[in-house]
């Protein structure tokens, strides 16, 4: 706000108002707690009444909520509140589409760290609202050994041994592999969670056979709505998709004063 909302000065102090939010597209609603907090930050007595539950499907023309409070607060908080709601609903909507696409398989849809700076907690919340599963929150709560770690640490076996040595209690370890040799090395080293990087459908099916249930397998790279079901049908346990949080289009919402 900087020095203040100059345009809101058009409205007399003490004026009360009611507004409502309407959806303009088909989506999954997400972001209510952030939306509410924007208004209550400027008017602690503001009341938001939701007509739709968090995580529910919404349709064009549907009223989502009403907001009652100081008119200046409603005007000032409007854009930021809608920004949260539009962006988080977009993440939840994208996630729900992928979850629906793999329905009936054992595969779970998983997010990544490819989030908007400063908004990781919010976006990962939205993934859960859409029916997806969170991967690690950051670099501190899990070990993910990727190709550059392997190059620096001396290969699969050495990296797995060191990961087991430095891993705090309760922290899981995952290792990325690009070919069957690395997959067999990872299994021999006791890996319990393996990421299959940019493998073809045929390679993924073969990897599932090689692992034979000894480790959970996660597919990553090149995942789209068009191919995600075929990937799930290879038998992998998880499918991670960076696009859930980085390649999104805001849901069309608008707020209007009554």
Known catalytic residue: 202?
no
- Among the listed residues 197, 214, 246, 252, the single catalytic one is 197
DSSP state of 9: G
What is the C-alpha separation between 254 and 217, in angstroms, rounded? 42
List of residues 6+ apart from 124 with CB closer than 8 A: 111, 115, 134, 137, 245
16 is catalytic: no
Classify 33 as helix, strand or coil: helix
Instruction: Pick the catalytic residue from 43, 78, 111, 176.
Output: 176
Burial class (CB in 10 A: 0-12, 13-18, 19+), 219: buried
Identify the active-site residue in 45, 49, 63, 79.
79
Residue of 16, 63, 106, 146 marked active site: 146
79 catalytic residue (yes or no): yes
Strand segments, DSSP code E, in 46-88 are 47-50, 57-58, 63-70
- How are beta strands 173-177 and 57-58 bridged, if at all? unpaired
Active site residue 106: no
Q: Of 24, 40, 97, 114, which one is the catalytic site residue?
A: 114
Q: How many CA atoms are closer than 13 Å to the CA of 253, on its beta-carbon side?
A: 30
Token pair 């952030």: residue: 34
184 in active site: no
Hey, which residues are catalytic here? 79, 114, 146, 176, 197
């Amino acid at each position: 706000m900087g020095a203040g909302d100059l345009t809101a000065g058009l409205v007399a102090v003490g004026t009360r108002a009611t507004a409502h939010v309407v959806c303009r597209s088909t989506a999954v609603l997400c972001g209510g707690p952030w939306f509410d907090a924007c208004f209550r930050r400027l008017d602690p007595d503001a009341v938001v009444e939701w007509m739709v539950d968090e995580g529910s499907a919404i349709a064009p023309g549907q009223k989502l909520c009403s907001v009652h409070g100081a008119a200046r607060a409603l005007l000032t908080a409007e854009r930021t509140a809608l920004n949260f709601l539009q962006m988080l609903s977009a993440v939840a909507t994208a996630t729900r589409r992928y979850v629906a696409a793999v329905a009936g398989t054992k595969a779970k849809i998983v997010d990544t760290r490819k989030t908007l700076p400063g908004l990781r907690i919010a976006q990962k919340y939205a993934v859960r609202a859409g029916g997806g599963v969170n991967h690690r929150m950051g670099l501190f709560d899990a070990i993910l050994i990727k190709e550059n770690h392997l190059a620096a640490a001396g290969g699969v076996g050495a990296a797995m041994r060191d990961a087991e040595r430095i891993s705090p209690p309760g922290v899981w370890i995952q290792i990325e592999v690009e070919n069957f040799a690395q997959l067999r090395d990872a299994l021999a080293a006791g890996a319990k969670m393996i990421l299959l990087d940019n493998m073809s459908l045929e390679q993924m099916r073969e990897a599932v056979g090689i692992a034979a249930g000894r480790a959970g397998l996660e597919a990553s790279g090149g995942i789209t709505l068009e191919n995600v079901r075929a990937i799930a049908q290879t038998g992998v346990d998880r499918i991670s998709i960076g696009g859930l949080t980085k390649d999104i289009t805001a849901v069309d919402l608008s707020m209007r004063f009554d």
